[in-house]
Every structure is written in C-alpha cells, then in structure tokens.
Amino acid sequence: MLDDAELMQRTAAGDGEAFRVLVERHGTAVHSFFLRLVRNVDDAEDLTQELFLALFRSAGRYRPDAPFTAYLYRIASNMAASHMRRRSARRTQSLDELAEAGFESATARHEDHPERTFEEREMRRRYENALARLPGDWRIALELRVGRELSYGEIAAAMGKSVSAVESILVRARERVAAEMGDVGRRE
Amino acid sequence: MDCRTCRILISREIDGEAAGADRAGFDRHLGSCAYCASFRDSARRANAVHRAIPERAPSPRLVASILAATVERREIPRTRWWLRIAVPAAAAAVFVLGFWVGSLMHERYGGESASTLAGGAAGLELEYLDEYPPGSFGDILAASYEGGME
C-alpha cells in the first residue's frame, strides 16, 4: 500500500487514482475535524471540499520531508481558524442537532443502559459547552491531539508553533474545560 | 514538584507522551494535592468524552463533487491537449496533400485547362484568364513550376 507522501507525488505527476485514494483515506477524518470545530454540517462540507481542492492544487509543491498529516492539518487548521474568525457570530449546531443531521453519537447507542446514556449525554453537553468557550486555536489543538491523535510534534508543525507552546495550550485548554465543567475550581 | 509542572505531566500522561523522569515526585504531588488529583480525573473524563464523538464520513455527493472538481477536470484538459496537437496536424496534412494533388493536376492538365478557359473566355473579353495577374500567388507558383520544369 502506498503511503501518503507517495500518493501526493503521484498526484502531482497526474495520477488521478492516487488522489482518489487520498480523498478516501482522509475524507472522514478531515470532515469530522471540521464538523467538530465549526459545528455546522454545510460549513464542514464546504471546508472539506476547499481543503481537498487546495491539496490537489498544491500537490506539486509538497515535499515529503514532514509528515503528511502535519501538512494536511496545517492547511485544515488554517482554514478552520479563518472560518471560526469569520463566522464567530454565526449560529453553530449542538451535537444533538448534529445527530439529527446524521452525526449520530456512538455514546447514544447504549440501549441496555439508558441511565448511562443520560449521564453521557449530560457529560457531553457540558463538555461541548466548555469547548465552545475556548479560544479557536485551543480547540484546534485539542481536536488535533484527542480527535486526530497527532503527536505534539505534528501539532506543532500543523499549527506553526513550538512543541512547548502546544503543550502549554493543551494544559491550559484542559484546565479551562475542567473549570467550565465544574470539576475543579479555577486556580493558577 | 509544583502544581504547574504536575498539570503538564498529567496532560502528557493523558496524551501518551513521555512523562519525564520524576515519576516519584509526580506521584507524591498527586497524593498530596487534591486540586491536581481532581484535574487529572476531570481531564481523563473529558478526553474519553471527546474520543467517544463518532467520526462522520463525507457524503458520497461531496466526494463526487471533490473528484469532479479535481481529478476529472484534469482528465478533460488532457484529452484536449492531445486534440490541440492532433487537429492542427491533421489540418496541415490535408493542406499539404491538397497542395500536392493540385500540383500534380496542374502538371497534367494545367496547360489544357488554361487554353480551354482562355478560348472560352475570348468571346467575353476575359483575356486575363490565360495568365495569372503579375505578382499574384498563382503567378509565383507558375513561375516556380516552369523554372522547375526547365
């Protein structure tokens, strides 16, 4: 199986099938990344399309000296940050609304334990509200780490920050989320 | 160990990154600091909630739209690139062939045609038909043809 860097090089050389494989391989992750950050199905689809168009156009400029995921999420993070700045006033959708639009939560499928489902829903609602109050780049860092499982080094490359800055953002984001959820008090 | 360092190590621990050398100091601090202990529990729970949010694949319509705007669009110009070569080449070939056939016909029938036309046109006072106007393309061609015959 070809790795992502090889697929990008083939795409640059005109191999359309290579780009199809990239879209199939990363489409779900990228779409989920945008959906969790912008919380609007239409916007997430638009951003996903824009991202792959940008990736296709930049295939000739890609150099495989950095991990492909860092390259991919650098573009995606810039797009998401720009979108969040532009549309900060626009109404976003809660995870429950997203579920109705097809973003069904796996945690809501515990039919054997309805009380657990309620607790999980409540926990998710509080978590969602806490996340929504974080600065955009903190949310991006959390999503890259927890949702996309990028290493600190990859997140640093994707966000154009140092590893220590990423580490600091993650700690502060977690502290703020814990305080917002009422689990621990604010404290420095 | 202070709380700040401890919280950094908690975050690293949750993320599976290297926690650092002072594991004993970390454990001691957690055992004595209720704030850091509750932060660790909370951060772990939040991490689990985040991970439980399901992935959502893009719709087939979106994937088709992406491919139509990228790969499939590039495949069309490729075809046109070949057409851009083939069509002028075919046109040039037809022109050269036509010129060659015309030369052959002129060689074989040119004199008779000219005299026939000139004879027929005499009554109409179209004398110029028996020769090409000076400086015209036909005149140059005829001159070069006659020169070649000599």
Residue of A nearest to B69 (CA): A53
Predicted confidence (pLDDT) per residue in A87-108, tens digit:
765 555 555 555 555 444 433 4
Residues of A in contact with B7 (CB under 8 A): 171, 174-175
Residues 6+ apart with CB under 8 A from A176: A130, A133, A134, A138
Name every residue in B having a CB less than 8 A away from some CB of A.
Answer: 3, 7-8, 10-12, 14-15, 17, 35, 38-39, 41-43, 45-47, 49-59, 62-63, 65-67, 69-72, 74-75, 78
Q: Measured between CA atoms, how close is A133 to chain B, in angstroms?
A: 15
**A154 pLDDT higher than 80:** yes
pLDDT at A109: 43
Task: Determine the average pLDDT of the residues in A28-56.
Answer: 93
Give the burial string for A137-174 (b: 16+ CB within 10 Å, else e): bbbbbbbbbbbbebbbebbbbbbebeeebbbbbbbbbb
pLDDT winner (highest mean) among A60-69, B78-87, B131-140 = A60-69
Residue of B nearest to A59 (CA): B70
Q: Measured between CA atoms, how close is A33 to chain B, in angstroms?
A: 9
Residues of A in contact with B75 (CB under 8 A): 16
Could you tell me if A53 and B66 are in contact, meaning their C-beta atoms sit under 8 angstroms apart?
yes
Higher pLDDT, B56 or A140: A140
Class of domain A4-180: mainly alpha
User: Is the Cβ pair B58, A184 closer than 8 Å?
Assistant: no
Mean pLDDT of chain B: 79
Residues of A in contact with B56 (CB under 8 A): 28, 31-32, 35, 102-103
User: Is the Cβ pair A16, B58 closer than 8 Å?
Assistant: no
Q: What are the tokens at A51?
A: 């991202």
Q: Return d(Cα A68, Cα A58) in angstroms, integer.
A: 13
Q: Measured between CA atoms, how close is B36 to chain A, in angstroms?
A: 9
**CA angle centred on B42, ends B40 and B46, rounded to 5°:** 120
> Residue B19's closest CA among B31, B10, B32?
B10
Mean pLDDT of chain A: 84
pLDDT at A114: 55
**B126 pLDDT higher than 90:** no
User: Is the Cβ pair A175, B57 closer than 8 Å?
Assistant: no
Q: Return d(Cα A15, Cα A60) in angstroms, integer.
A: 12
Q: What residue type is A104 in one-letter code?
A: E
Could you tell me if B118 and B108 are in contact, meaning their C-beta atoms sit under 8 angstroms apart?
no
Q: Where are the beta strands (DSSP E) in A32-114?
A: none
**CA angle centred on B96, ends B92 and B100, rounded to 5°:** 170
**B77 pLDDT higher than 60:** no
Residues of B in contact with A36 (CB under 8 A): 53
Residues of B in contact with A183 (CB under 8 A): 38-39, 41-42, 45
Task: Determine the average pLDDT of the residues in B123-142.
Answer: 65
Could you tell me if A70 and A61 are in contact, meaning their C-beta atoms sit under 8 angstroms apart?
no
Residue of A nearest to B12 (CA): A167
Q: How far is CA B99 from the centre of its chain?
A: 37
Task: Determine the average pLDDT of the residues in A37-58.
Answer: 92
Task: Determine the average pLDDT of the residues in B64-69.
Answer: 89
Predicted confidence (pLDDT) per residue in A113-148, tens digit:
555 678 788 888 888 889 888 999 999 999 999 999
User: Is the Cβ pair A105, B49 closer than 8 Å?
Assistant: no
Residues of B in contact with A58 (CB under 8 A): none
**B108 pLDDT higher than 50:** yes
Q: Which pLDDT band, with edges at 50, 70 and 90, does B46 fall under?
A: very high
Q: Return d(Cα A3, Cα A25) in angstroms, integer.
A: 10
Residue of A nearest to B46 (CA): A127
Higher pLDDT, B40 or A182: B40
Q: Return d(Cα A38, Cα A83) in angstroms, integer.
A: 8
Task: Determine the average pLDDT of the residues in B27-48.
Answer: 92
Q: Return d(Cα A32, Cα A58) in angstroms, integer.
A: 22
